[in-house]
Amino acid sequence: MKPFLTIIFLFLICNLSNAQYTDRFKKIVNELKEIESKPDTIFYGNGKIWWISTITTYKYKSENYSTHTGKQTQYYKNGQIASEVFLGKYGNILSWISYDQKGNKTSESITTEIDSNADNLTEFFDSDKHISFKRNDKYYKCSYKLQICYLFKEGQTVNGKKVGLWKTYTENGELKKEKNY
């Protein structure tokens, strides 16, 4: 049953990973041709893995452009996962989960929309100021007194700035505060 659920999850990630891109964004990157995708692993000085990712190279006219894509995992020196990131096929963050050194979730972010106001691929590659992101973010805290970790704060961001209603919770899960941005 577990392999079946894994296949369904991967299928959904692959199909939904395109859902965040606006039509305007898709039109700009349409001319990119993927030419290579290879694993990328970086190690700490102690020989333990620090970073696992994939580098994908695209061709546009006579130029090659490379970016990290797919699942990217970063580790602490003690071997514990520090973050798990899913990157779209153009290197944009689709989701991000961070952990503390004990393995407790500290934050998660899901990208709901990726847009670009670049006029062409040359402008697209010259800067990243043309890209905008909408994300749903959640932050977690751990109460060592109660020995639990809990959702502390949640809300939406646009280009890293809080927008709309943000909610803050107590360690018992009760709504503590709401604030509009």
The pTM is what?
A: 0.81
Pairing of β 33-43 and β 93-99: unpaired
% of residues, the chain, pLDDT over 70: 90
Range of the domain at 164: 2-180
The total number of structural domains that make up the chain: 1
Task: For residues 136 and 17, give the distance between their C-alpha atoms in angstroms, rounded to a whole number.
Answer: 15
> Do the Cβ atoms of 89 and 114 come closer than 8 Å?
no
Q: What is the rounded average pLDDT of the residues 139-157?
A: 93
Summarised one tens digit per residue, pLDDT across range 40-99 is 999 999 899 999 999 999 998 888 989 999 999 999 999 999 999 999 988 889 999 999
Q: What digits encode the pLDDT tens for the residues 5-43? A: 333 333 333 334 446 888 888 888 888 899 999 999 999
pLDDT at 3 over 70: no
Q: What pLDDT was estimated at residue 19?
A: 61
pLDDT of residue 144: 83
